[in-house]
A and B are shown apart, each in its own frame.
Chain A
Amino acid sequence: MQRSSSHAWRLAAAGGLLLSASLAAQAPTITVRDAWVREPMGGRNMTGAFAIVENTGPTPKAIVAASASISDTVELHEMKNEAGMMRMSPVKRLEVPAHGTLELKPGSFHVMLFDIKTRPSPGETVRLTLTFDDGTTVTTEAAVRKPGER
């Protein structure tokens, strides 16, 4: 009995997934706004990229990769302040909850651009592409800002 109900659930869930997949194909549920790249600080050839990622759909999504016009080495990172001790670590995915928002911001989850090819200056933009776990990508123009401006 339990087995068949679990089977039914799985079917329903699969149906739901198919439905949301087809809906996703019609209307994108992910929007990326207010994207910005911090002007590299103190002679470093790396910097962070930030944005607000909103998921209007019923399915959780996750950023699994990112790319940028000024760097070939782009990673997803997390910065965490644990009782005054700052930890920075690479992560495999950044979760965007269903009907929710993920804010990529300094001191928190963010995108790291290493080995910057062209040093970006305020007033310029950097093309930033986020790849999600469902294979979709969102590309946006991220404004270059001075550290501490936001």
Chain B
Amino acid sequence: MRRRAEFAARIIALAAWVGGASACQPGPAVDPLPILPIGGDFTLTDHDGQPFTLASQRGKVVLVFFGYSSCPDACPTTLSKLATVARRLGDERARVRTLYVSVDPERDTPPVLKADLANFALDAVGLTGTKAEIDAVVKQYAAAYEIVPTPESAAKYTVSHTTTVYAVDAQGQVRLTFAYEASVDEILRGIRRIIADTA
């Protein structure tokens, strides 16, 4: 019960922050970005089958998002967009890492994730794990997903999932979230702000 109340309080804090952010944009004065009450370290399995911890990425800006390999539209759209972001980052590219967390761990084995990511010009790490491990990370980031069977479609199933990209700073704290509709420019600006904040 208490955990649920805490979770609700985090959501309210997040909503208040998102609302505030949109209300005060754009402004010339740049306040330090708040630390969002979501996220945290986790251990999953990377696309080479090796254990991967978020903690191993300290010092980098980490973009975390959830998806799945047979995702027809939203995930490849986001991966393509993040590939453009990476290209436009130029030299700063080495300071940014993208993590693609599968919400379809049963089908997304490390080799499947690796093959999927090979299609994008993006040095992303595909992450998978047991359902319990994935669910824990999804909860940490206040995200959600749902596997929906669609026997009437050639897709056979779809996975509804959060499409937000979470931007984690060099200390492992979530500082910004980018909505699905966010442009390459918005994401670039956000990343550069986090880099500037933690410099």
Which residues of A are interface residues toward B (Cβ below 8 A)?
41-44, 46, 48, 73, 75, 77, 79, 81, 84-90, 106-107, 112, 114-115, 147-148
Tell which of A42, A85, A87, A90 has the most Cβ of chain B within 10 Å: A42
Residues of B within 8 A of A147 (CB): 76-77, 80
Quick one: which of B74, B115, B154, B158 contacts A114, CB cutoff 8 A? B154
Q: Name 19 interchain pairs, CB-CB below 8 A, sorted by A.
A: A42-B76, A42-B79, A42-B120, A43-B119, A46-B72, A46-B154, A46-B155, A73-B154, A84-B164, A87-B148, A87-B158, A88-B158, A89-B148, A90-B153, A107-B180, A107-B181, A114-B154, A147-B77, A148-B81
Contact status A88-B160, CB under 8 Å: yes
Contact status A84-B162, CB under 8 Å: yes
Contact status A79-B73, CB under 8 Å: yes
Contact status A48-B73, CB under 8 Å: yes
Quick one: which of B154, B160, B164 contacts A115, CB cutoff 8 A? B154
Contact status A87-B80, CB under 8 Å: no
Number of B interface residues at 8 Å Cβ cutoff, please give it: 33
The smallest C-beta distance from A110 to any residue of chain B, in angstroms, reads 8
Quick one: which of B73, B79, B158, B179 contacts A84, CB cutoff 8 A? B179
CA distance A44 to B155 in the complex (A): 12
Contact status B162-A41, CB under 8 Å: no
Contact status A41-B150, CB under 8 Å: no
Contact status B160-A87, CB under 8 Å: yes
Quick one: which of A42, A84, A85, A114 contacts B80, CB cutoff 8 A? A42
Tell which of A46, A73, A84 has the most Cβ of chain B within 10 Å: A84
CA distance A133 to B180 in the complex (A): 33
The smallest C-beta distance from A124 to any residue of chain B, in angstroms, reads 19
CA distance A89 to B148 in the complex (A): 9
Contact status A79-B74, CB under 8 Å: yes
Residues of A within 8 A of B150 (CB): 89-90
Quick one: which of B76, B84, B153 contacts A75, CB cutoff 8 A? B153
B43 at interface by CB-CB < 8 Å: no
CA distance A73 to B156 in the complex (A): 13
The smallest C-beta distance from B76 to any residue of chain A, in angstroms, reads 4
